[in-house]
Structure 1
Amino acid sequence: MRGKTQKWLDRLRQSDHALVLLFVFSALEATIVPIPLELVLIPYMLLERQRIWLLATIALAGCLTGALAGYWIGLGLFDSAGQWLIEATGATEQFEQFRQTLQEEGFFALFMVGVTPVPFQVAMLAAGATDYPLGWFMLAAGLSRGIRYYGLALLVLMFGEQATEIWRRHSTTVGVSLLAIFVLTLILNFL
């Protein structure tokens, strides 16, 4: 890891509020900060391997909290706050495309957002704006982001320092592979 990043992560780890900050970072990444949480989460997991599953769980909880907030913005405040958020993140075209995909594909479209490069902000606002059922939205977000964060933990445990580079170069491939492993595991367990 680079010097400044290492120092920053060391300060974060030593903070009494480290886990709360991870939760907040994850919630912000899900709502208004279009910077991937993985840039912080992977190095943090590398330094805290003994708590790696806890870190993944906290990242997931923060993400789902942010997703719920974004859903409610899309549902009740889309014309003001939701539209502003889409424009602020530069995702107007992606939003319109995803809204159409969501209406056609539903749950699967939401699920795939968690493992593909479509900004999560687009999905949650579209789900709220189209009044997509909240329970199905949260299930799709929880499953897909769970696969993402627990998959990152597994990647870190298996590949160590190389996990950051693997994720940076192949995030879509890694995400889809983790999804395939998850689906295959479900199929094998229910046969």
Structure 2
Amino acid sequence: MLRKLYDWTLSLAARKSAEWWLAIIAFVESSVFLVPADVLYVPMALARPDRAYRYAIVATIASVLGGIAGWFLGHYAYEAVARPVLEFYGKYDEFEALRMSAGTGFILLMLITSGAAHLPPIKVVTILAGVISFPLGWFIVSAIVARGARFLLLAWLLRKYGEPIREFIEKRLGQLAAAAAGVLILLYVVVRYAI
């Protein structure tokens, strides 16, 4: 099922309405959708390198707006919407443990790593940020920085290196992003507990 969803999302890149679809996918990815907007963004930017930065800005704005929607979902509709879903999937206890241990610094770190590297998925962090009442202003700023940096870096790489970088991105970007997220987490632990 996930493969079909991935293929459907990828097929949207060839449509005339692709830019609108990119905005829609980036928006819903930040709060509920399974497939990252990169699946649509990369082929669009490769097909039209002259619009790579424009697409990056569209994806960033839509992603941040979707993150705000996720924050509001967590903040105002946790009991009515999110909790029943978590209970259905047997993830409620894990989420509650994360909720109880999550402080402002931890949420900020997770917003940056999930925005830049999808670790953990952005939708989890946006909802969790709303649940623990993470300051909305800080949330918006960190989402703009993390998501904007990700899409703008992809735009620069795709414009500079074109098709060869696509294979590299698809094969190794996840590993590089995971390593970068690991370094950020280690840095947070060192600053928090060693200093």
**Structure 1 and Structure 2 fold alike (TM over 0.5):** yes
Instruction: Report the Cα distance in structure 1 between the residues aligned to 2:44 and 2:90, rounded to whole angstroms.
Output: 29
Deviates more, 1:167-176 or 1:58-67: 167-176
Q: TM-score when scaled to structure 2?
A: 0.74
**Please, what is the CA RMSD of the aligned residues?**
3.0
Question: Deviations 1:51-107 (Å, cap 9, x if unpaired)?
Answer: 111100000111011101110010000012122455688865774565356315242
Instruction: Report the Cα distance in structure 2 between the residues aligned to 1:129 and 1:164, rounded to whole angstroms.
Output: 37
Counterparts of 1:105-116 in structure 2, within 5 Å, are 105-116=106-117
Which residue number in structure 1 is paired with residue 125 of structure 2? 123
After TM superposition, give the deviation of residue 29 of structure 1 in Å: 1.4
CA contact (8 A) 1:102 1:110 kept: no
Q: Does residue 40 of the first structure (1) align with residue 40 of the second (2)?
A: yes
Q: Say how many residue pairs are matched.
A: 173
After TM superposition, give the deviation of residue 168 of structure 1 in Å: 2.4
Instruction: Report the Cα distance in structure 2 between the residues aligned to 1:69 and 1:25, rounded to whole angstroms.
Output: 13
Which residue number in structure 1 is paired with residue 162 of structure 2? 160
Instruction: Report the Cα distance in structure 2 between the residues aligned to 1:91 and 1:156, rounded to whole angstroms.
Output: 38
Which residue number in structure 2 is paired with residue 151 of structure 1? 153
- Stretches of structure 2 lacking an aligned partner (at least 5 in a row): 1-7, 184-195
Question: Deviations 1:103-150 (Å, cap 9, x if unpaired)?
Answer: 152422322221233111110010000011000111111111111111
Counterparts of 1:60-99 in structure 2, within 5 Å, are 60-84=60-84, 86=86, 95-96=95-96, 98-99=98-99
- Stretches of structure 1 lacking an aligned partner (at least 5 in a row): 181-191
CA contact (8 A) 1:34 1:89 kept: no
After TM superposition, give the deviation of residue 171 of structure 1 in Å: 2.6
Q: Does residue 9 of the first structure (1) align with residue 13 of the second (2)?
A: yes
